[in-house]
Structure 1
């Protein structure tokens, strides 16, 4: 009996921690349009292996990304513009899932964090990058392929897709919807890769479904807050969010 009570208590503690983590991750995503997988995987890593954390991410990430994707009116236009990048994401993620081991050492995560910090600092310094329409067909599949490989190694699909999408000079709402489209495809590809590797288990799937409610609640609050701020303040919040995420990921350097 004591063992049963102890097991029940540990489960309650774990579920409470998962709920709090996804509430925070959803809020961050609602405000800046990204960050749910980065925050969730980073904090879940305190309680479980990275591969298990990635599996819990699937349902909240997919649903919140589809919500973000459908919130704007430019879906078909973005799909026609970004389809080469999306194909690259799928190819890179599935290719990486077949030959890349889980990021047990944390090196890939650290490199990702450093890249995010560098990009955020450049953004806060108002140094802007731009990709012309004529170069998109060249850059899009390469950016997608690299993003997919990074996703397979870290379960985070931010670099280099996010800097690239911002370099396309999209409007605020278009950028948010484009991020939702990119992240939706990345989540589906990651789920397929995890399923092929046998990392998706019924218990993990059940907890992933349970994590959906706090993630949606946090995202709703974050979106409400985003609607109250100007484009300039949004841009600042966007880069500050990336900076904090990058510092969190690169903190492995000092552990």
Structure 2
């Protein structure tokens, strides 16, 4: 990434617009900011650079979501094996993101978007029996971490798994905030270990918090005027098409 003083204003404007749009999605659906921002940023820059840009907006918006609910301590006690494995998997997977193979990382990013959007559109609601949770949580955390480290996307398979635990609506939102916050911190550590974090990129990431929060505010207002289910369906369709474009482009 160029030094901050040399970054073109049109690039800054595009980044701000992307984070504003991603914030709207998060404001309406309660999730999606890293996924949308990674997908759109990955369309015109290396995935590792896009990941560096999303770190601060992702952390700020997810820590807000994490602290808004009433059950943080209970969720930490319940989900700590999953969170610990997310950290381990992300640290391992980040080496794939920082090794400089842009074609591979773009393909992985596109395929992850396709899998997530396709699953969310077509799959029925899953249910995880309580007796299996102690075995599944570490495995899901490790898989999520590897995907996070390799692509910068936090949602597969953590989101379907958490949705299958039978949590209340408020607890689910807070559990997602916990998972995304841990993933963001682990991703930052993985990028730093791989030498992929630069001061100028972090400054631009800090600046991106403003449009992201404005987008969240707009999305929360929009949620009262539209059907969240309909918005989510079209959002996933667009995500599916974006993922296909990224995957096919990397194969050419």
**What number of residue pairs does the alignment pair up?**
243
Which residue in 2 is equivalent to 1:195? 192
Q: Does 1:79 align with 2:82?
A: no
After superposition, the Cα gap between the structure-2 partners of 1:165 and 1:239, relative to the gap in structure 1 and judged at 3 Å, is: farther
Give SS of 1:72's match: coil
Give SS of 2:102's match: coil
After superposition, the Cα gap between the structure-2 partners of 1:70 and 1:223, relative to the gap in structure 1 and judged at 3 Å, is: farther
Q: Does 1:96 align with 2:93?
A: yes
Q: Does 1:251 align with 2:245?
A: yes
After superposition, the Cα gap between the structure-2 partners of 1:8 and 1:136, relative to the gap in structure 1 and judged at 3 Å, is: closer
Which residue in 2 is equivalent to 1:38? 35
Query: Which 5+ residue runs of structure 2 have no aligned equivalent?
Result: none
Separation in structure 1 between the aligned mates of residue 228 and residue 132 of structure 2, nearest angstrom = 27
After superposition, the Cα gap between the structure-2 partners of 1:241 and 1:74, relative to the gap in structure 1 and judged at 3 Å, is: farther
Q: CA RMSD in A?
A: 2.3
* CA deviation map 1:67-100 (0-9, x unaligned): 1111211211211121111111001001122456
Give SS of 1:129's match: coil
Q: Choose the corresponding residue for 1:168, options 165, 168, 173.
A: 165
Deviation at 1:208, TM superposition (A): 0.6
Which residue in 1 is equivalent to 2:56? 59
- Which moved further from structure 2: 165-174 or 101-110? 101-110
TM-score by length of 2: 0.87
Q: Does 1:50 align with 2:47?
A: yes
Q: Choose the corresponding residue for 1:29, options 21, 26, 38.
A: 26
**Preserved contact between residue 122 and residue 128 of structure 1 (Cα < 8 Å):** no
Which residue in 2 is equivalent to 1:110? 110
The equivalences for 1:139-150 within 5 A come to 139-150=136-147
**Preserved contact between residue 103 and residue 153 of structure 1 (Cα < 8 Å):** no
After superposition, the Cα gap between the structure-2 partners of 1:103 and 1:167, relative to the gap in structure 1 and judged at 3 Å, is: farther
- Which moved further from structure 2: 150-159 or 173-182? 173-182
Separation in structure 1 between the aligned mates of residue 195 and residue 6 of structure 2, nearest angstrom = 28
**Preserved contact between residue 23 and residue 216 of structure 2 (Cα < 8 Å):** yes
Query: Which 5+ residue runs of structure 1 have no aligned equivalent?
Result: 1-6
Separation in structure 2 between the aligned mates of residue 34 and residue 80 of structure 1, nearest angstrom = 23
Give SS of 2:128's match: coil
* CA deviation map 1:109-135 (0-9, x unaligned): 232123113312224xxx221001111
